Structure 1
Amino acid sequence: MKDKVIIVTGATSGLGAAAAKAFAAKGAKVIFCGRRAEQGIQVENDIRNKGGEATFIQADVTVEAQVSHMVKETLRLYGRLDVAFNNAGGNLGISAIENTSAEQFLNTIRLNLTGTFYALKHEIQAMKGSGGSIINTASTAGLKGVGQHLAAYVAAKHGVIGLTKAAALENARNQVRVNAIAPGVIQTEKWLEEVQKTPGQLEKIAAMMPNGKLANESDIIPFVLFLASDDAKFITGTTLAIDGGLLAG
């Protein structure tokens, strides 16, 4: 990772922030984005205080012009782009299909799928001629149906996996690898805040896992680093489930 130029989206907290810090700790030059300026500046300062190199750019991945600006700024600063981790996304609500508004459904698609498309579009343009690695964050919800009132999120993440495969095939001869990760439940700070509002919910969710455990960011990051590295040079178009066995049964 040393001296590689890396973009991370959705990196003001959670998995994205952990990835930005991990890449920087390996010596990469990290450009990362998110909508929340205060949190982004804090992550940037955390990285720099530990001797890493990072630049925060406030950007909303659902706005193509802002994604384009982030990639152009990366090229202005460093002249190239080696790796991108398109992590921005999330579930925007829980409701049965018949109770889901068109606005909620479309906003979930925009955040998870359209935002990934915008990022891919501009990152691939930057990588053509030099090659690179792109990792998209999908979910186990993109590999199976989830009957827990998450239809919009399930549809969006299935779309991310399909988009990953198509982009990988289109760009294999350009030496641009495109893969996805499919985590199960990750205990991010934001997720825990929501779950702990319901007593006993955390334990109930953990009990559903084959290994009886929920993942932390540290369980996911090594696989992001691997897919970004030259050790994965023969892997493209793949979705790697990191789910504690959730999809096995």
Structure 2
Amino acid sequence: MNSKLNGQVAFINGGSRGIGAAAARRLAAEGARVAIGYAASAIAAEAVVEQIKAAGGEAFAIQADASDAASLTSAIDATAARYGRLDILVNSAGVLLLGPTEQFSLADFDRTLAVNVRGVFVASQAAARHMQDGGRIINIGSTNAQRMPFEGGAAYAMSKSALVGLVKGMARDLGARNITVNNIAPGPIDTDMNPAESDFALGLHGLMALKRHGTADEVAAMVAYLASPEAAFVTGADLLIDGGFAA
């Protein structure tokens, strides 16, 4: 176990799978105590907890529906109460709903906003109330805020673009407390949502400087950097980790 984050507490919103799970494991390896927020995947969340404990870390799972403000706020409040503090928030929960503009339902549009934008704001607001000076808020955005080269992704790209403006404003609001607020903008990452082995994946690789999917652990390394003391001067940023997708 590393000790860069020793004694700190991290809440991972959407920590049961993919990038969120990798971030939870990495922050725990750096010494943080980690709360794994999940919407419905209790079994998957508990599996991440067991992986962290097996490696010598401390973690627990707690239900937190990113589309439900009361559920999300309650989970963050409970985490702060459990440990007496909250230092790091990682907003990794997200949905990817695709469809042509003329057919995209308002229900899917509203769910995209509820999870990808409103949930990030709700979690950040709740976490900031508990954070001491020097806290960290880290969002998982998307390179699609910079480039949307295929059809059907208008609402998704819009939701991730909204996070860019949100972190700029929130970084100003929380800067006096030395709380940093940043986006990480991944490109194609090998997860259940976007597996590396598919015809769609091959098409994406043709648009990239590096002809492969990234890994969740590579994104988690950037999360760990932003959570660390070394990143104390980084705030309001949208940091691409996309293999040159947007280059």
Shared fold by TM > 0.5?
Answer: yes
Q: Distance in 2 between matches of 1:2 and 1:172?
A: 23
Q: Is residue 9–residue 88 contact of structure 1 (8 Å, CA) maintained in 2?
A: yes
**Of the candidates 142, 145, 152, which is equivalent to residue 142 of structure 1?**
145
Aligned to 1:202: 201
**Contact 1:40/1:58 (<8 A) preserved:** no
Deviation at 1:27, TM superposition (A): 1.5
* RMSD (Å), alpha carbons: 1.5
Partner residue of 1:116? 120
* Partner residue in 1 for 2:169: 166
- TM-score, length basis structure 1: 0.92
User: Per-residue displacement from partner, 1:48-94 (whole Å, max 9, x unpaired)?
Assistant: 122110011011011111111112111211111111111111202x2
Distance 2:216 2:83 in 1: 28
Inter-partner Cα distance in structure 2 for 1:32 and 1:146 = 33
Tell me which of 186, 189, 211 is aligned to 1:186: 189
- Show structure 1 runs of 4+ deviating over 4 A: none
Which of 47, 50, 54 lines up with 1:45 in the alignment?
50
Structure having the higher helix fraction is 1
Paired residue for 1:87?
Answer: 92
CA distance in 1, matches of 2:103, 2:171: 36
Structure 1 alignment gaps of length 5 or more: none
Task: Report the CA distance between 1:148 and its aligned residue.
Answer: 1.9
- Is 2:179 aligned against 1:176? yes
Q: Deviation at 1:189? A: 3.2
Q: How does 1:1-249 map to 2 (within 5 A)?
A: 1-35=5-39, 36-92=41-97, 94-127=98-131, 129-192=132-195, 196=198, 200-248=199-247
Deviation at 1:146, TM superposition (A): 4.2
Q: SS of the counterpart of 1:112? A: helix
Q: How many residues align?
A: 242
Q: State the AA in 2 paired with 1:16.
A: G
Q: Deviations over 1:90-114 (max 9, x none)?
A: 202x211111011111111111001
Q: Secondary structure at 2:16's aligned position in 1?
A: coil
Kept after mapping to 1: 8 A contact 2:36/2:60: yes
Instruction: Specify the code of the residue in structure 2 equivalent to 1:75.
Output: A
Give the drift of 1:155. 0.8
TM-score, normalising length: structure 2: 0.93
